[in-house]
Amino acid sequence: MLPLAALLTGPGHAVPLNPGGQAAKPAARPAQAQPREQPPPVRLGLEPRAIDLLKAASARLAAARSMSFTAVSTYESPSRLGPPLAYMTRSEVTLQRPNKLRVITLGDGPASEFFYNGKTMTAFAPADNLVAVAKAPPKIDAMLKAAYDSAAIYFPFSDLIVADPYKDLADGLVLAFYIGQSRIVGGITTEMIAIANDKVFAQIWIGAEDKLPRMIRAVYADDRSRLRQQTEFSNWQLNPTLSPDSFASARAGLAKPIPFAHPNSAPARGGTPTR
């Protein structure tokens, strides 16, 4: 005669016993995984309230014949460990439409100075006492493009100093929506909006009263790391009286000249850097 344990564990009777000799309760069947609900698709569109705020800020800037402001920019760069590190620059910007610009930049690296007087554009590196000068187009918009194309000079606030900021900011928009108010940025009440095209997603803080941009935070679509770039604006002055010598530098005129060229340009045969 087989022991009781053998009878209870034989074929067709695989019932385990607990230490007290009683049959243990069969394990509950694992619950079937429920299919995850898919989030609703994002509805692309341009909310009128967001567009109205963008137009108001753009119109305020476009109407100014001269202006000055401070731009503090934060850039993320991957670290060796993976998470990004943040680097910052501070630019003091002065411009007079249609053809004068000065940008004095300090940052987590060498300082730089840029001057444009409607005829030439000058990039000056004070620490190295080097200067690059090139002929420039007669208006700010064309000069910004020429500076980037020839020497990779780019300002994170370029969209705000062109003749028609709305045209640049709204180019190719597929998404614009209103987020809400903030009372943190700049110590004032701002209206937050988000805009996007196929190249960039940006969040913009616009002064509720003065309609001036206070901060822009952007992520670019072609950046797999989704690194963020942020610029905060302060010390706005619209239509200040500027002296003609605001857009020139005596120190730059005495510096060692170098070609106004892309920083990665390889020297051509004969030792002349290519442009």
Count of domains forming the chain: 1
**Is residue 26, in this structure, part of any structural domain at all?**
no
pLDDT at 250 over 80: yes
Write down the pLDDT at residue 12.
42
Q: What percent of the chain has pLDDT over 90?
A: 76
**Is residue 191, in this structure, part of any structural domain at all?**
yes
Which two three-digit tokens encode residue 267?
A: 């020297």
Residues 178 and 187: their CA atoms lie apart, in Å, by 20
Write down the pLDDT at residue 13.
41
**Is residue 34, in this structure, part of any structural domain at all?**
no
**Is residue 264, in this structure, part of any structural domain at all?**
no
**Is residue 221, in this structure, part of any structural domain at all?**
yes
Residue 202's CATH number? 2.50.20.10
Write down the pLDDT at residue 264.
76
Q: By the 8 A CB rule, do 69 and 91 touch? A: no
Average pLDDT value for the chain: 87
Write down the pLDDT at residue 43.
74
Q: Backbone dihedral region of 208: left (phi > 0), alpha (psi from -120 to 50 degrees) or beta?
A: alpha
Residues 191 and 52: their CA atoms lie apart, in Å, by 11
> Which residue matches tokens 């619950």?
31
- Domain with 148 in it: 48-257
How many Å is the Cα radius of gyration of the chain? 31
The CA-based angle 54-57-61, given to 5 degrees, is 135
Least confident of 15-19, 62-66, 171-175, 245-249: 15-19
**Is residue 148, in this structure, part of any structural domain at all?**
yes
Write down the pLDDT at residue 224.
87
pLDDT at 271 over 50: no
**Neighbour-count burial of 197, counting CB atoms closer than 10 A to its CB (0-12 exposed, 13-18 middle, 19+ buried):** middle
Least confident of 1-15, 41-55, 217-231: 1-15
**Is residue 7, in this structure, part of any structural domain at all?**
no
pLDDT digits (tens, 9 = 90+) for 127-168: 999 999 999 999 999 999 999 999 999 999 999 999 999 999
**Is residue 4, in this structure, part of any structural domain at all?**
no
